[in-house]
Amino acid sequence: MIVTKVTVTLGVLGYLALWILAINGLSYLVPMLLIPLVLVVLIGLGAWLTRYMGVPTRSPRFNKPKDDLES
């Protein structure tokens, strides 16, 4: 769990550092930095809309395969 938190923290800090570079002159980074931001917003809005509408989450159902040897 701690590795996940450290990884997410370092990822966010790296993303913010790239935005700082983009603001200070590396403007070609802006389109590449907007893509993850737009994806996060779209996924977040979709999840919020699903909860707001009350759509139940579906759990996967795994069917046990039938053995050909058993009759």
pTM: 0.60
Cα separation, 7 vs 12, whole angstroms: 9
What's the confidence (pLDDT) of residue 44?
95
Instruction: State how far the Cα of 67 lies from the Cα of 71, in Å rounded to an integer.
Output: 8
Whether residue 18 contacts residue 29, with contact meaning beta carbons closer than 8 Å, is answered with yes
User: If we measure between CA atoms, which residue out of 16, 44, 13, 12 comes closest to residue 29?
Assistant: 16
What residues does each domain of the chain span? Answer: 2-53
Average pLDDT over residues 57-61: 81
Is residue 27 within 8 A of residue 13, CB to CB? The reply is no
- pLDDT of res. 61: 82
Residue 22's CB is within 10 A of a number of other CB atoms, namely 17
71 has a pLDDT exceeding 80? no
